[in-house]
Structure 1
Amino acid sequence: MKKLFVKTEQQRFWLDKLEANSSPIKAEAAKVDEQSRFPFEAHRLLQQIGYPQLTLPKQYGGEGLSVYDMVLIQETLASYDENASLSLGWTLGVVGEIYDT
C-alpha cells in the first residue's frame, strides 16, 4: 500500500535505507518502552545514516526533502519505533517548514 504514496527516487532511497536498518531500531524500541527511556541507540544509528538532515537544504549539507517526503519517511520510522520517530519528527518538520516557506 505504501508504494501508492512513493513519488520519487529520493523517497524510495530513504525508505530502503530505513528498511536496511530496521532490525536494530525495532529491537531497541521494545526496551525503550519497557524502561521508559529515550531511544539513544536509534538516534545514533539514524545520525550515522544522515537521517536528521532530511529536511535541511542541500546547500547546507542536508538532503533537501520536502515536508511531504519527510512525513512519508517518518511514518515508516514510526512503524519501527514511535519514540524515535516522534523525537525527530518535530525538528525535521520545523526545519522543513522554515525552508519550504
Structure 2
Amino acid sequence: MSNKRSLIGLFMALTLIGSVPALADVDGQALYRQHCAKCHAEDGRANTMRGWLYFAQNLSKAKWQDNNSDRDILDAIQEGPGAMPGYADTLSEAEQLALVKAVRDLRKP
C-alpha cells in the first residue's frame, strides 16, 4: 500500500513538474472563481447558500488539506463527488492542475 502511494505521489510530482510551463498560462484562481466559488465560496469555507444546500466541503481547513493528497483533489475535480459536477471532459489537464493549486492556496491555519 505504501509503495502504491509512493508511486502515485511520484507520478503526481512528475506530472506537476512537467506541466509547470503550462500552468503559467492558466489562471487557477480565475477557474476556481468560475467553477468552484459558487458552492465552496471565494475563501473556500463553503459558507454559501449552495454550499450549505449541497454539503460542500470546507476547502480551507488545515485538517482537510492535510488529509487529502493532490491526487484526491484532482480525482474530485475530475469525477465530482456527491452533487459536484466532474470536470474531466470540460477542463484541460493544465486547468485541472491549476485548480488543485488554487485549492491548496485556500488553506488556513
TM-score by length of 1: 0.37
Higher helix share: 1
TM-score (norm 2): 0.35
